[in-house]
Amino acid sequence: MNRPRRWIEGALAVTAATALGVTALATTAQAADVNVARNAGFESDLSNWTCSAGTGSVVGSPVHGGAKALKGTPTAQDTAQCSQAVAVRPNSTYTLSSWVQGSYVYLGASGTGTTDVSTWTPGSSGWQQLSTTFTTGANTTSVTVYTHGWYGQGAYYADDVSVLGPDGGGGGGDPVVVPAVPAGLSAGATTTSSADLSWNPVTGATGYNVYRDGSKVASVSGASATVTGLTAGTSYSFQVSATNSAGESAKSAAVTATTKASGGGGGGTVPRHAVTGYWQNFDNGATVQKLRDVPSQYDIIAVSFADATATPGQISFTLDPAVGYASAADFKADIAAKQAAGKSVILSVGGEKGSISVNSDASATAFADSAYALMQSYGFDGVDIDLENGLNSTYMSKALHQLAAKAGPKLVLTMAPQTIDMQSTSGEYFKTALNVKDILTVVNTQFYNSGSMLGCDGKVYAQGSVDFLTALACIQLEGGLDPSQVGLGVPASTRGAGSGYVDPSVVGNALDCLTRGTGCGSFKPGKTYPGLRGAMTWSTNWDATAGNSWSNAVGPKVHNLP
């Protein structure tokens, strides 16, 4: 794929190190920590709070604690932001949290003197806790904390805001005490390698520790967790404790969860048949678009691309100003909106000129840690591996399994190898795909820019034909990948690649040939693969340049496969 590498001073950049700091919970107990927010539960109505344009009010239901909560009602021109200036101590760390529900709720802090932070949720019908941390600058004595919704969306609710840290002298709350033991722990859905847990929220808790068979395995901010890295067909005992800056409660009563028996495949909430499109985070002459402009025919949107840092294996992401977003928050809101519409938005790693080196245990860990940090910061559903300058199957496989252990079973993992990379199961790319088959969503091979290639029957097929697509996809289908993990990658227009463009009707014929046994050329597979995942294109921008003719034709074809 084509990727110009842009480094523009002033671009909106989030590195892995920054993103890691956004979601970390304070772990060092500080006996003097207090909640420096005033009227944190809105029991005194909007006292100490300022809401934009009259968009905030206080309601008696729903509430998380006490008798009142905040209701924000966004308009087409206003996000219903409510804020408060809190007194803080310089050079100190604070944990900001709030219980929220409703549509698109944001929580953040500005004027910290260091890095301003924010976090958000697309929304829910029940209370959930948002949490982030910030550190004050050497001369910072006041920080503005805020919550808001999003333009034209439904109302949101917030309650029990907490800004835990050293007393800044502003008349905040009482000293923090160790929270109570969590109650109501229950086990939910399981997979072959994970188990969902949930419990009742604990007042005053800023986080929870999850224990498996007596050993701590996770720390989370909300009252639920997905424990990963489990063995198929195995029973486990789980407990949780509640934490805050004063300490940790005792462990809860234990519950038992049994994982499902072996049977493979990752992919989160991606539909059975899916269309993948790469979205360009740069301007190379194709239509410049925001994520909100990507047509609904695309089920997986791969944001292109992440960048390498000076640390081997570590990646970062820079939002290019050429795309036109006013802020990173606007970009994140578009991601959340796509997800609310049932789409997956992932971060693509590599491209034609991108080189990420994962060739050691340290670089594998650096990749997993930084990729997960960017997922947490931006809300990405997963990653796409589009490394066109080589990869090490041993260490990339380790990196992706480490990432899956962090992200859980809903991780969306895709790959976009070049045609030559999937000619043989002995190739590093093919070996990587097979190594991570248990967590892999789909491999969308780039069936272009390659010239003639061998098919699974040993014959040579010319690029740009239905035989080329079907006979080469057959190599993967018969080489160990599940049909649900195979997709056909093609350019969206003649300008999208140097060679290999095929009319959307040819893509449709190839899909029919592989799934139904109809529409084939001279090559016809020995059996059909009705579970074939679908198709991919480079790119949504080139598709838009051509009037979205590719997605308008291929999208319905994919979504109507058997």
Q: Coil, strand, or helix at residue 94? A: strand
Residue 538: Cβ within 10 Å count: 30
The answer to whether the beta carbons of residues 414 and 302 sit under 8 Å apart is yes
Inter-residue long-range contacts of 459-464, CB under 8 Å, 24+ positions, other chains counted: 459/523, 461/523, 463/499, 463/500, 464/499, 464/500, 464/501, 464/502, 464/506
Burial 415-443 (b: 16+ CB within 10 A, else e): bbbbbebbbeeeebbbbbbbbbbbbbbbb
Q: Please report how many Cα atoms fall inside a 13 Å half-sphere around the Cα of residue 551, on the Cβ side.
A: 26
Residue of 9, 248, 352, 388 marked active site: 388
Angle at 62 between CA 60 and CA 64, to 5 degrees: 100
Q: Please report how many Cα atoms fall inside a 13 Å half-sphere around the Cα of residue 255, on the Cβ side.
A: 17
**Which residues make Cβ contacts (< 8 Å) with residue 44, sequence separation at least 6?**
none
Q: Are strands 412-415 and 442-446 parallel, antiparallel or unpaired?
A: parallel
Mark whether 43 is an active-site residue. no
Give bridge partners of residue 98 from the DSSP assignment: 130
**What tokens were used for 562?**
């058997």
The answer to whether the beta carbons of residues 86 and 99 sit under 8 Å apart is no
Write out the catalytic residue numbers. Answer: 388
